[in-house]
Structures are given as structure tokens and as C-alpha cells.
Amino acid sequence: MAVGFGERMAISAGLLGLCLIMPLAMVGFQSGQAFAQSETAQQDVAPTFIVDRYRAKADAGDTGAQFRLAILFERGAVTGSPDYDQAAVWFERAAAAGHGPAQFKRALYYQEGLGGQKDLSAAAALYRQAAEQGLGEAQFNLALLLAEGQGVAKDVSGAIRWYEQAAFRGVTPAMRALGLLYMGGVANTPQDRIEAWAWLTLATENGDTKAAGLLPDVTDGMDKTSLEEASRLADAYRQLRLRP
């Protein structure tokens, strides 16, 4: 679903608003290309005794086994081709029992319409459950839905809070999103080039070429004192940031 930045955006408060109106175009959900890749990749079928073992444990209510069985179905390791319907069944059971990664995966399925109808409201609810358990990718995807008002009431301030939590958990696109927000300012977040520089630098260090392309726009106009403060802030965030 995610698309590229295209030409580097001119920075203004007006365009920064687009970051919250159309974040998919700028950041992209944490997801999702693996679904398409799994449909075309050659799949190795798992040994029958492995599938039987997971199924028996899953039937007995083991959420870890339910999640692993769902992954096998998703990857086509049970029959040789992906079975999203069965994967959805087992992700759903594990998610209902509070398994965070299963909540995230089931939310993705609802978002993409895999294993059933697309349901953004259900996706948002499950992203929130997983986000509250500390899953950074779920926090980021929830932020995007909140920012756009997809499947949930639009809440820009809430989106920013979840972007921040995801960023501190090492989710690189969330770092870029915060950098964009601070570049122009939006909602209750004022423009702050020092914050923008710090977050875009951290994203760049994680290999984000889009963030790297935005850094010159932030740096332009910053004096030596501001750059030194931004560097200290980035250092502090490196120490605070939780790893994925």
C-alpha cells in the first residue's frame, strides 16, 4: 500500500498538514509487502509432525502455538501455498486471548482484507491492543490510522503520542514522521528544527534514505549553536531509545 516520497517536499506548515492527512504517501504502514512476496515465493512445506504438534497445542489453547500455526499457513508451509483464511482463524484465536503479535498480524489482515473482508475499525481496535502491549509497529500503524481518521475518530494529538512511543521503540518510519511533524509544526506540536534534526538523524542512521533527503531542509538556516544542541538531543535519544 505504501508509496514513495517522489520529489522531495518543500517544507511549510501547510504541507506538513499533509503528513497527517495523507501519511501513507509519506511514511507507509508497517506491514505488508511480505504478504505479496509470500504469494510468489517458493515455499517449503513443513514436516507433518511439526504441523500436527502445533495444531494439537493450538487446539488446547496455547496462544504461542496458535500464532506459529498461523504463520505456517501464511507462508504456505502447510499445503505449499499461502492460506490466508486459515492464518486469519488462528491469528484471531491468539489475538482474542491477548497475544500481542497475533493482534498486530490480525489487524494487518483486517487492514489488507486478507482472510476476510477489509475492516479498518477492527484493524484500529487490534492495533491499539497490541500498541498498549508495547509493540512498536502496532503503535506506528495506530498513529497513522488516528492521523487519517481511518477506522477510528481522527485524533492528531493521539497520533503524535503513538508516533513518539513507536519512535522510542526503534521504529524508523516513526522517527521520520516525527521529524516531518517538527519541521513544520502541526496541532499542538510547534515547529522545532532541533527536534526535527534529531529524529531525522536517528532515522538516517537506521538507513532511511527518505529521512536523509529531508535533513538538508532542516539544517538550512540552523546556526552552530542550534546544530550542537540538536546533536546533543540526538545523543540523548540514542540512550533512551528502546530497541525493536
pLDDT value at residue 180: 93
pLDDT in tens, 22-62: 333 344 566 544 433 343 344 578 889 999 999 999 999 99
Residues of the chain with pLDDT below 70 are 1-43, 242-244
Global pTM value = 0.79
Provide the CA 222 distance to its chain's centre, in angstroms. 31
Which set of grid coordinates corresponds to residue 220? Answer: 538550512
pLDDT value at residue 47: 87
Q: In sequence order, what are the residues at sequence separation of 6 or more whose Cβ sits closer than 8 angstroms to the Cβ of residue 197?
A: 179, 215, 218, 219, 222, 227, 230, 233, 234
Give the count of alpha carbons within 13 A of 34, CB side only. Answer: 11
Cα distance between residue 176 and residue 162, in whole Å: 13
Cα distance between residue 74 and residue 16, in whole Å: 37
The backbone torsions φ and ψ at residue 173, rounded to the nearest 5 degrees and listed phi first, read -60, -30
pLDDT value at residue 30: 63
pLDDT value at residue 242: 55
pLDDT value at residue 185: 84
